[in-house]
Each structure stands twice: as structure tokens, then as C-alpha cells.
Amino acid sequence: MKINLKFKLLTLMILISLGNLFGQSPSNKIIFLNDYYSAYADTVKNDITNRDHLYKEKIQTAIFNSHFLKSEFSDIVNDFLSAPIQNTTELKQAIERVNVNKKKIESKITSALKKSNTYLKNDNLTIYILPANPDNKAIMQSMNGIMGLTAGSKQILLTIEPEIIGWEEMLEYAVAHEYNHMYWTKMNFGKSTKWTLLDYLIFEGRGDSFAHLLYPKVKAPWTSTLNEKDKDDLWNRIKPKLQNEGISFQMEVMFGSRNYPFSGGYTIGYDIVQSALKNTRLTAENWTNLSSEKLLEMSGYK
């Protein structure tokens, strides 16, 4: 009995040491969701007429019910998973590219989590890995092969396309970006009943400012899509609407539409937060928890 107890204690110490050595706490998990997508691709080959139904059953509902029912941003995750994948032949290839790079993906994520945790404390995290939707090639290219989504205070989803050059560096940046969102959610979710355009701008500005702090050499294209004149023009258009709570309008501003420039909201949000932090010695923990209104005030944006 004593020997067994000593063995358990020794095993625990080894696990903790390995966690410290490789930067991943034993409480953090990296889960690859490829099996869901493979099952869908295999099934739809024999039942192409029911493709959309099979996608909803095999991927959207299955993943959501298994992993995200209790997430703070569960509705956003469910919506994110809702678009059916049509090109299942290329989907299988995308899955294989993720599988081939599995160890590298795990290593990059582990490293980014360790680095992020030195600035902001959060644990028991789960990072979910999805293969890229072949129908979204242009979007993935514009994101340097990585797309991130925060599900809540303990979960993020990362869509990865290793075929796109630069995905390794962008993966670490994306983890740091989403880590900042998780930490903010842990500390601030539920404190307000409203979510405004200003909140969205600052939310993403914080995420990119934190990622840039950790990885200053990585260039996120969406933070610099506008020149100074275009930034001024966009700001003057949206300034009267900063308290708008309409999510469709917010998405237009953030991601772009016929009415708004591509990723303009991300560029403005990043510029606001960067301007706010220019002459301050606040720690990442301090400024991440500042309100949107306070950061806007500090930025000097007029």
C-alpha cells in the first residue's frame, strides 16, 4: 500500500515536471476534432442528397452537444459550426494535412499557452482543432491559414490550414489573441447585459494588442488594412454608432461588407487600444480588465 502511494506521488511529480518543462499544464487539453469531419465525409459519399442534413447531424450538432453546451459564447459557436461543407473530397485532404502536422501544432499551441500564462493567469483550458473548410479558401488565405474563435473562459476553437505559408507563426499569435479573450471572459463575462460596437472594437483590439506584445514580429493583416485617411473616414462614420447593439451591424463593421471596408473594425479597434497603451505602464492584466470606455478615453480618439 505504501509503495503504491509512493509510486502515485512520484508519477504526479513527474507529470508536473514535464508540464513545466514543455510549457503545457497537465490541466490544459488540445483536442483534434478531425474524426467528426472524417465521419461526415465518409458518410456523405454514399448519400450526397442529404449532405446538409448529415453535416448538421455529424458535425454541428455532434460537436456542439459534446463540447460547447455550457460555454459562455455557445450561441456564437453553434452559429460558427452551422455552415455545411460541400467539397468533401478536399475536406479529406485538409484533414490529412492537420494530421501530418499534429505534433507541430501541439508544440506551437503549448508554447503559446505557456507564454500567455506568464502575463495572464488562466488554467484548465481546452483548445479544439478543426480542419479548414475547403469552401473558405479565400478567407483562410487572408487569415494566414489560421482562424480562431473563443467559446468562453476556458475554450477556444482553431481552424488550421497547414497548406498556407506562415501558418506556424500565425498559430502562436492566434492562440495568444484568443487567450486574451478567454482571460477577459473569465474576469468580466456577465458584468454587463449589453454588447455594443465599442465593446466589440475594444475586445478585438485587446486581443491583437496582447498577441502583438508576445509576438511583435508577426504581422496580422487585419490590423493594418486601412491607411490613415481611411481610418479617419471609417471612424467618423461609426463614431455616432458606438453604442449600437445590433450584431449584424457590428459584424459588418468588424469584418467588412458592401458598406464597410474589409476588416476595418479590427484595424480601428487595434489602433484604439495601441494608442491607449502608448504612454502607460499598465500591465497586460491591468489594461485587459479596463472598460471599453476607459480605453477609448485613454486613446485620445476624437
Backbone angles phi, psi at 155, to 5 degrees: -140, 140
pLDDT in tens, the chain (302 residues): 445 555 444 444 444 444 444 444 558 999 999 999 999 999 998 888 899 999 999 999 999 999 999 999 999 999 999 999 999 999 999 999 999 999 999 999 999 999 999 999 999 999 999 999 999 999 999 999 999 999 999 999 999 999 999 999 999 999 999 999 999 999 999 888 899 999 999 999 999 999 999 999 999 999 999 999 999 999 999 999 999 999 999 999 999 999 999 999 999 999 999 999 998 899 999 999 999 999 999 999 98
d(CA 35, CA 39): 6
> What is the reported pLDDT for 13?
45
**Domain spans, the chain:** 27-188, 197-299
Starting at the edge strand found earlier in the chain, the sheet holding 126-131 runs 29-32, 126-131, 155-160, 146-150
> What is the reported pLDDT for 47?
84
DSSP string spanning the chain?
Answer: -HHHHHHHHHHHHHHHHHHHHHS--TT-EEEE-HHHHHHHHHHHTT-GGGHHHHHIIIIIIHHHHHHTTT-TTHHHHHHHT-SPP--HHHHHHHHHHHHHTHHHHHHHHHHHHHHHHTTS---S-EEEEEEPPGGGHHHHHHTTTEEEEE-SSSEEEEEE-TTSTTHHHHHHHHHHHHHHHHHHHHHHTTS-S---HHHHHHHHHHHHHHHHHH-TT---GGGS-S-HHHHHHHHHHHGGGTT---HHHHHHHHH--SSS-TTHHHHHHHHHHHHHHTT----HHHHHTS-HHHHHHHHT--
> What is the reported pLDDT for 46?
81
d(CA 132, CA 142): 13
Please give the torsion angle defined by the CA atoms of residues 67, 127, 84 and 63, in that order, rounded to the nearest 10 degrees.
Answer: -20
